[in-house]
Structure 1
Amino acid sequence: MTGTDAMPDLHSPIELLRPQRIEFGSGTLATIRPWVEERGLKRILVVADAFNASRVDLLGLPGDVTVFGEVKPEPDLPNLEKVLAVAEAMKPDLVIGYGGGSAMDLAKLVAVLPGSGQRLHDVVGPEKVLRRSAALIQVPTTAGTGSEGGTRSLVTDPATQNKLAVQSRHMLADLAVVDPDLTMTVPPAVTAATGVDAMAHCAEAFTSRKSHPIIDLYALEGIRLVGRFLPRAVKDGSDKEARAGLALASMYGGFCLGPVNTTAGHAVAYPLGTRHHIPHGLACALIFPHTLAHNAPAVPEKTALVLEALGLSASQDPKTVLEGAHAFCERLGVEMRLSRLNVPRDDLGTMATEAHAIRRLLDNNPRDLSRGEILAMYEAAY
C-alpha cells in the first residue's frame, strides 16, 4: 500500500458494540443512583485509584459500598489478583470502574472473572470470556483511553513484562457515565499526555490497514476535537467546554479501539510503560510523531488529514510530518525525550525487540516496521 490510501470496501463486515446506555455531559453523575436503585443492586464494588477512592461520595451510591482504592497506573497481575480477592469475598452484584483506563480495565475483569472458574490467562485474546457475573458501570475521570466505551482490558504480566489483552463483549459497560466535570482536577501534564493518547487511538485507527469508513467518522472527529480543545484544557484546566471536547474525543477513541484497534504507535510505546513505568499517555505522545511520519508514504492522504485536523499544515512528507506532530506535542509541554525520562540507552535494543514482537498491533500498521526501524525511532526520540 503505497502512494494512495487504500480504503476498505464499504461492504467489508464490521461489528460495532456500544455500552447499552451512555450518559454524556456536565452533571450526568446524578444518573447513577436512580439506575442502581431501579435494578435493586445492593452489593457495590468500586474499583478506583487512591485519588478517586477519596471522592467516591460524588457517585451518590445507595446501599452497601466496598471501595478498592489501590489501582496502579499500569495495572499488573498482582494488582488484578488483589481486587479479585476482594470481589470473591463480597460477591458484588455491581462493579463500578472509577478513574482512568487502568481502573476501568480492572473493573471489566472483576465483573467477569470471580466465580467463573476462569483465570486471566484463560481469557487472553478475543472472546474467550464465558459470562458476566455482575452489572458494570464505567465512570472515566480522565480524557484518554476511552475504556468506558470498549470491550478490551490490558494487564501487564510481570514475568514477561508484556501486556495481556482480553477482549470480550461480556466486558462492555451496561452504563457509561462520561461527566467531563470529573476531569477538571487533572493537572496540565497529565491532561496533555492523556489527550494525545486519545488522539493516537483515533489517528492509528484512521490510518490502520483495518480502517473502515464507519470508524473513520469517529476517528477524524476525535482528532479534530483534540486539535481544538487540548491546548485550551492544558492552558486552563477549568475550561468546561475544552474538558467536554476532550471527554468526547476520548470516547470516540474508545469506539475506534474495538473494531479497528491501534497500530505501530502503541506497539512502540508499550515497552516504555511495561519496562520503565512511563505513563501510557506520555509514552504514546512521545512516539506518536515518529510512527505518523513513518507511515506517511503508505497513507499520504490520511496523514495530511490528521495534520489538518490538529490545526497543522497538511503534508505528506515524512520529515515535515515528524516536525509538525513533534511541535504539536512539545507546545503542550509534553516531555519528548526518552533520556529525560530515565530510560537507559542500553535498553533500547531490548525494547525494540519487544515492540517488534507485538504482532497483534504491528500487523495492522499500514507500512511494515522492522526491528531496526523501531530502534531508530527510539534513538531519534532519545
Structure 2
Amino acid sequence: MSITIFRTPTELVLGTGSVKQIGEKARVLGATNILIVTDNVLNQNGLVNKVIAPLKEANFTVDVIDEVIPEPPFENLEAMTEKIKGKRYDLFVGFGGGSVMDVTKVLATLMTNDVDVRNLVGIDKVAQKGIPFILIPTTSGTGSEVTWNAIFTDTKDNVKKGIVSPYLLPDVAIVDAELTLGVPPAITAATGMDALVHAVESFTALRANELTDGIALQAIKLITRSIRTAVYNGENLSAREDMAMGSLLAGISLGNAGVGAVHALAYPLGGKFKVPHGVANSLLLPYVMKYNVISNLEKFAEVAKVLGENVDGLSLREAADRAVYALNKMSRDVGIPASMKDLGVTEEDIPALAEEASKIDRLLNNNPRGLTKMDIEQIYRECFEGNLELDCFGHL
C-alpha cells in the first residue's frame, strides 16, 4: 500500500440542532471578537440569526459582513479583506454555501499572510495558518466545510482557479441539516448533484484509496436515496439529513482523493458563462464518465450498484455503462439542463473552452483516463448536443 495522508478538520459537529453548539466551540477556540462571514440573502432572510443568537447569548462580540457573491471573483475577496483589516477579530464564522465558506477560508488566511491572493493559487502556497475559523454550511453540496480547497473566479481570463492548502481546513465544522430546509429546489438540485460528482470522481480518481473508497460509496448511497425527495419535497428533514451527510462525506473523499476531468472541464464553463459550479459539474458528469468508464470497469460497475441499478446477468462492461446511464437520468430527474446549448454556449465556443480545460493539470492528472485537448473538445461537443443516452444506450 502506498503512503497516504488523510486530512479532515480538527473537529466535526454533526446533527439536527448542532448549530446551537457554536458558542461552546467559539469559547474553546479562545474567541472574544467574532466576525460572521455570509451573503446578503442569508442576512436579509434572517437565517444568519441562527448563529448570531447563540453567540450573543454566550456574551461574544459579534459583527457580520454579508458581501460574499456567488462564484466569487478575487476582487470580492480583496474588497472584503480591505474592509476588515485592523478590526482585530480573533475568530471567523463562515455561514453559507460553498462560496461563503471558500471566502471565509482565505479571508482568515489573509489576516496572517500579507500577500496578493493570486499568488496563493496552486498547491501549498500558503506560508502560515490564518486566524481560527468555523464553517457552517447552509446547502448540501460543495463539502467545502471539510476540504482544503477554495475556488475563485479570475476575471482576467474568466477561469476558475483553486487555492489548495491544509491551512484551509477549519478548526471546527458544524453540519446541521435543519439549516437547509428552506433551500429552493433548483439550488438543492445543483448542490446535491455537485456532491454526487465529488463522490463519484473521488471514488474513481487515481489518488483514491481504501479509506476514501468507503467514504465515497456511502456518500453516493445517501445522495442517491434522497436527492429527488430533497428537491421536490424540501421540508422532508430525513432527506435533508441524508443530503447533509452525503455532502460531508463526499467532501472528505474529495479533500483526500481529489477529483478529475469533470471539474477541469467545468471550470472554464463556469468562468466564461457564469454557470453555477454545481450545474456545470452535473451537466458534464455523465459525459466525462462515459469517456472514463473503460479505465476501471470494476469501479464503475460498483457505482452502478450503489446507484440502484440492477446489474444481475450483465457483463462487467454493461454493468459499468449502467452507472453512466443512471447518473444521466438522475441529472434529468432533478432538472439539471440537458445540454450546454441550454447554458448559452455556442459551438464556436468549444475550442476555446477545450484549450482552457487542457491546462488544468492539477485535476486532469488525477483523472482515471488520460485526455488530450482533442478528447476534451469531443466531450464538450457531446455535451453541447445533449444526446448521451442515444449515443451510449440506443438499444434501450
TM range (shorter): over 0.9
> 2:372: which partner in 1?
370
User: Quick one: structure 1 residues 321 and 38, their matched pair in 2 at CA, closer, same or farther if it must change by over 3 Å?
Assistant: closer
Q: Which amino acid aligns with 1:50?
A: N
What does residue range 142-157 of structure 1 map to in structure 2 within 5 Å?
Answer: 142-157=139-154
What secondary structure does 1:211 align onto? coil
> 1:222: which partner in 2?
219
> 1:8: which partner in 2?
none
What secondary structure does 1:89 align onto? coil
What does residue range 1-382 of structure 1 map to in structure 2 within 5 Å?
Answer: 11-54=1-44, 55-59=47-51, 60=53, 61-62=55-56, 63-314=60-311, 316-317=317-318, 320-382=322-384
What secondary structure does 2:294 align onto? coil
What CA distance in whole angstroms lies between the structure 1 residues aligned with 2:34 and 2:233? 35
Deviations 1:50-85 (A, max 9, x none): 122233211022333222212121111111101111
Deviations 1:114-171 (A, max 9, x none): 2422221332222222223421000000100101012111112111222222222222
What CA distance in whole angstroms lies between the structure 2 residues aligned with 1:316 and 1:282? 28
Query: Do the aligned residues in 2 keep the contact of 1:100 with 1:145 (CA within 8 Å)?
Result: yes
What secondary structure does 1:33 align onto? helix
Query: Do the aligned residues in 1 keep the contact of 2:112 with 2:129 (CA within 8 Å)?
Result: no
What CA distance in whole angstroms lies between the structure 2 residues aligned with 1:244 and 1:270? 29
Query: Do the aligned residues in 1 keep the contact of 2:95 with 2:138 (CA within 8 Å)?
Result: yes
- Deviation of 1:276 after TM superposition, in Å, equals 0.4
- Deviation of 1:248 after TM superposition, in Å, equals 0.7
Structure 1 length as normaliser, TM-score? Answer: 0.93
Deviations 1:340-362 (A, max 9, x none): 22223321111111111111111
What secondary structure does 2:3 align onto? coil
What CA distance in whole angstroms lies between the structure 1 residues aligned with 2:267 and 2:165? 21
Deviations 1:201-230 (A, max 9, x none): 111111111111111011111111111111
Q: Which amino acid aligns with 1:57?
A: N
Q: Which amino acid aligns with 2:196?
A: M
- Paired-residue identity, %: 34
Query: Do the aligned residues in 1 keep the contact of 2:195 with 2:250 (CA within 8 Å)?
Result: yes
Q: Which amino acid aligns with 1:351?
A: L
Structure 2 length as normaliser, TM-score? Answer: 0.90
Q: Which amino acid aligns with 2:367?
A: N
Query: Do the aligned residues in 2 keep the contact of 1:88 with 1:115 (CA within 8 Å)?
Result: no
Query: Which sections of structure 2, spanning at least 5 residues, go unmatched?
Result: 385-396
What CA distance in whole angstroms lies between the structure 1 residues aligned with 2:131 and 2:348? 46
Q: Which amino acid aligns with 1:297?
A: I
- Deviation of 1:197 after TM superposition, in Å, equals 0.7
Query: Do the aligned residues in 1 keep the contact of 2:190 with 2:279 (CA within 8 Å)?
Result: yes
What secondary structure does 2:257 align onto? coil
What CA distance in whole angstroms lies between the structure 1 residues aligned with 2:217 and 2:174? 23
Q: Which amino acid aligns with 1:16?
A: F
Query: Do the aligned residues in 2 keep the contact of 1:29 with 1:179 (CA within 8 Å)?
Result: yes
What secondary structure does 1:66 align onto? strand
Query: Do the aligned residues in 2 keep the contact of 1:113 with 1:132 (CA within 8 Å)?
Result: no
Q: Which amino acid aligns with 1:316?
A: R
Structure showing greater relative contact order (alpha-carbon pairs closer than 8 Å, 6 or more residues apart): 1
Query: Do the aligned residues in 2 keep the contact of 1:47 with 1:107 (CA within 8 Å)?
Result: yes
Deviations 1:236-273 (A, max 9, x none): 10111110111111111111122211001111111121
- Deviation of 1:321 after TM superposition, in Å, equals 4.5
Query: Do the aligned residues in 1 keep the contact of 2:140 with 2:247 (CA within 8 Å)?
Result: yes
Q: Which amino acid aligns with 2:39?
A: D
What secondary structure does 2:235 align onto? coil
What CA distance in whole angstroms lies between the structure 1 residues aligned with 2:127 and 2:380? 40
> 1:4: which partner in 2?
none
Query: Do the aligned residues in 1 keep the contact of 2:142 with 2:191 (CA within 8 Å)?
Result: yes
What secondary structure does 1:26 align onto? coil
What secondary structure does 1:297 align onto? helix
Q: Which amino acid aligns with 2:281?
A: C
What CA distance in whole angstroms lies between the structure 2 residues aligned with 1:320 and 1:290? 13
> 1:3: which partner in 2?
none
What secondary structure does 1:368 align onto? coil
